[in-house]
Amino acid sequence: MAPAAEEEKRVVVDDCRGVLLVYSDGAVERKPSPGFTTPVRDDGSVEWKDAVFDPTHGLSLRLYRPRHALAAGGEKKRLPVFFYYHGGGFCIGSRTWPNCHNYCLRLSSDLDALVVAPDYRLAPEFPLPAAFLDAQSSLLWLASSAAAGGDPWIDDVADFTRVFVSGDSAGGTIAHHLAVRFSGGEVGPIRVAGYVQLMPFYGGVERTPSEAACPDDAFLNLALNDRYWRLSLPVGATADHPYANPFAPENGDEIAAAEFAPTMVVVGGRDLLRDRAVDYAERMKAMGKPVEVVEFEGQQHGFFTIDPWSDAAGELMVAVKRFLLRSLQPNLVDTTMPTMPAVDVADDAGGGAATAASPCANDVVEDLAGFLRVLSDGTILRSPVGPTFCPSTFPSDHPSVEWKEEIYDKAKNLHVRMYKPSSSSPSSASGGGGGGGEGKKMPVVVYFHGGGFCLGSCTWANVHAFCLRLAADAGAVVLSAGYRLAPEHRLPAAVDDAAAFLNWLADGEQFPTAAWLSDAADFRRVFVAGDSAGGTIAHHLAVRAASNPLADDAIAVCGYVLLMPFFGGIRRTASEEECPAEVFLNLDLFDRFWRLSLPVGATRDHPMANPFGPESPELDGVELRPLLVVAGGLDMLRDRAVDYAGRLSTMCKPVELAEFAGEHHGFFTLGPGSDATGELIAVVSRFIHATGVAAAAAPAADCFAPPELIKLKRTPPMSSSSSSSSPPPHVVEDCLGIVQLLSDGTVRCSGDYSSMPILSDAAVPSDLTGAVQWKDVVYDAGHGLRLRIYTPTTITGAGAGVEEKEKKKLPILVYFHGGGFCIGSYLIGSYEMDNFHACCLRLAADLPAVVLSADYRLAPEHRLPAAHLDAASVLSWLVAGGDPWLDASADFDKVFVCGDSCGGNIAHHLAVAIGSGEIVLSPTANLAGCVMLWPYFGGEARMPSEDTGETDTSSPVKMGIDLFDQMWRLALPEGASRDHPAANPFGPESARLDGVELPPVLVVDPELDVMRDRVADYAARLRDMGKRVELVRFDGQGHGFFVMDPMGEASGELVRVVRRFPQPNRCCATLA
């Protein structure tokens, strides 16, 4: 121990934030944690672990990866690798510090990347170049891991050809030195694709303006900057040492000779080091290096690690993600629109004249593709020039549509364009598929344009062209109304204007064109529609209408159409995170729109943006009219639209979802003449005409069906090499006119079941409908899949006075509909009654049983095994429990899987999966039997009944072997034969069933079915294996007779056969 006199002389000579203390005697004291408290925000979406990369120096790193990196079933998703070296002036900091940990959690989540955060030795104990050498070691550690098949935690997900090196402050300086050290980017088997320097920590003897002007209270001030360099550089070195100053004379031509990968330099407008970072980037670009600068105005040094969850940090994540995409795809076409000259905006946003503005000295703080600029003093500049995506080739007129324009709010200068099909229009004559014949009026579509609440007009050429086609093809009167725009008029101004327009419309006598519309418009069938922001407006009007209906009954709103609605939320969705920067609506523009349109200070969870936000009104008790929601498979907002429809469906709201799988946001206004737009309008037309007819026929509370999920998918073309001169795609497969596969890979789903004998309400006896109650539930929200639960009313106790003995638990029959895996649903058509629904009503009442009728994904959009996987999800949902109807009525010890045609195929595969242990039911559930009604199996070798060329003529659907073969072509994986295991249970690649423990099996085989011999052969083979199988032959009946006539005599006998199943010692029976 030192003498007291010497202890008193020992003083602190350098203090770095209280974390590092250097004493006068050379001693160094470090605190184990930073001098500030930051809570860790780990929501579990990212998993992480530590690993040692340099045992000699005791150095570790921390690895982060999104939990979804390993998809279901072990499928590997390769992620870019993103190195992050922490800051701290080479003197303090650690990967374990909570601010660094939080930042890396967000990096991994937002960038969808494997993040590697190494530590390195710190000064003054280890002055530079120790940190640089340690950083090199961490990169080489990854390279050795890639070469030798190292840590599987990394190898399972890492894409070693997409490695990025980043760092903040001192870590940014490390990134520069690594770029010079590993010139060309090749580090053994890994490739460095780019570098990100976040406010890099560079030095120099001569002060820059930003250093000289730096206030003492800044997070990084001049005194601390100098102290870091004094402690970290070799003893006696100045800030012009090559470790600190990249352009020091001692560096010579080292940088000029180095081959740099793309580099992004991030600077803060209030950072002491701003000028050095900007100078670095400019000098590098002068040397021809691929360097870009992103400046964050108003931000100080290290803002993203001080608060990794701030909006500014979020914007940084977006910028980094865009850089990663550009670095990996340098030849992407820049689709950003050219900047327009700044102009003064009129006092109101309704379309007043704009004049050229003189140059403004204010900085531009927001720029929406040149059409809208916000200056730092609050000035808003709008361009009078039309957008580049509205070319002059867009039609301004349609031969069968008349249109007029009118002002509906003079005070706000708000306009509406009105379109009506002329009497010569084919759609007006036919009613657009239901609108009525000659002399009959057409439904009215009130349409609100998109543009993130900031851009757009009913007068824009793309909006005009779309409305012309909508009126012509849908056979409807279209009213395209403008509204005030943000940021001059922030939300809820746009929604208020839309509501005011409906009130203006209700007071029909006041506008000049009322008479012009009166001969065509049926104002008792009004639908509110909108795209993007207009779709959000439609949602808010639907909610408002429930509590504040229109005062005048002159118009009746029957439904709402939300085309790719513009919803928001703080938490990113998968489709938002995966959105490429070059698309029409990307994440940067999305955030910018919300920032400009929401009330000042509001977040994206504001009720105007997020229908399910923490402060949004509860929708469970809101009585909504029917809604059609359209999503685009390539739209950044796809997941929000699907989630919106799914949540409403779980609340039993009347909602339909149509997804166009290969389409981007706003495809119908970007290409109003395209085939995809035609398909969209067909879907909208079907919705408005069917819903309008139902509304006119019955009271609002009784007329609408429960939610229907339209599975309309449009796949992108198989090849992008075709030119505009290529012939139009032709139909290569046409399945009953319901599903068509085109030569370019497009799938068309008409939803037209006119070739099928659809039942009417009158076909089902009232005593049967009164004996069973039913409801719809979502069992797979991710795929928007639902099922219907049927329970006899005497069991569920729906009425009072039910005897206790009648409340016994009933068997569960899980039923899958037929349709060759390509068509069908538990709900077909626009009304509640249909064939499958009637079948399940009868099964539930007459067995009696609790019946679950489930939808599943259909081919060719979703080829097998999609349907089998969805069926397994149904069982998982069932045994998970929690539904009050099932808890009250169902006997889980008696679960039966059942299906007709391809539903019977599904039942077989479920029974095999359970019997082989591939699917494990809960301990309280038991598979008691498998019921297959004329199961749909295949095989390359023909059975005798298949080889005769006969056709089953017992139903309106002529079901011959050609139709069954076609459905296999559409349903099986591309290139697969009918011997594929999904089709042929006994094919050459199918698993053997000898050792599979199957439950009792009932097989129903109609005499006139062309597949009867294949069905009989299936039952015989199982019986030869010692399985318990009952085969029942129905003479005089054809494929699907129960579905075609659920109330018929033969169907009644079929239900009695199922009720008696399983029967002891019975293997075969024939029912004449």
| Contact criterion met (CB below 8 Å) for 533 and 453 | yes
Residue 965 tokens, joined: 């073969």
Where are any strands of DSSP class E within 362-505?
A: 364-368, 372-375, 380-382, 401-409, 414-421, 442-448, 477-481
Nearest to 224 by CA among 38, 25, 91: 91
C-alpha to C-alpha distance for 974 and 980, rounded to whole angstroms: 11
Q: Decide: 749 and 739 in contact? Cβ < 8 Å.
A: yes
Query: Token pair for residue 342?
Result: 């700044």
* Burial class (CB within 10 angstroms; exposed 0-12, middle 13-18, buried 19+) of 828: buried
Residues 649 and 855: beta-carbon distance below 8 Å: no
* Cβ atoms 191, 161 nearer than 8 A: yes
**CA 473 vs CA 405, 686, 691: distances in Å:** 21, 11, 17
Ordered DSSP codes for 621-636? T--PPPEEEEEETT-T
* Residue among 457, 455, 461 nearest 382 (CA): 455
Phi, psi of 345 (to 5 degrees): -95, 145
Task: Kindly list the strands in the beta sheet with 380-382, ordered across the sheet, starting from the edge strand earlier in the chain.
Answer: 355-356, 343-344, 380-382, 372-375, 364-368
Q: What is the DSSP letter of 799?
A: S
Rounded distance between C-alpha atoms, residue 792 and residue 770, angstroms:
9
- Strand order from edge to edge, sheet including 12-16: 12-16, 20-23, 28-30
Q: Coil, helix or strand for 1063?
A: coil
Distances (CA, A) of 150 to 50, 51, 58, 142, 187: 14, 12, 19, 9, 16
Active site residues: 169, 532
What are the backbone dihedrals phi and psi of residue 503, each rounded to the nearest 5 degrees, phi first? -65, -40
Query: For residue 488, is it left (φ>0), alpha (ψ between -120 and 50) or beta?
Result: alpha
- The Cα 621–Cα 613 span in angstroms is 16
Q: Which two tokens stand for residue 267?
A: 């600077």
In 3-state terms, what secondary structure has residue 459? coil
Question: Strand, helix or coil at 23?
Answer: strand
Q: Are 230 and 126 in contact (CB under 8 A)?
A: no
Distant-in-sequence, close-in-space partners of 47: CB < 8 Å, separation ≥ 6 = 64, 65, 66, 67
CB contact at 8 A, 900 and 866: no
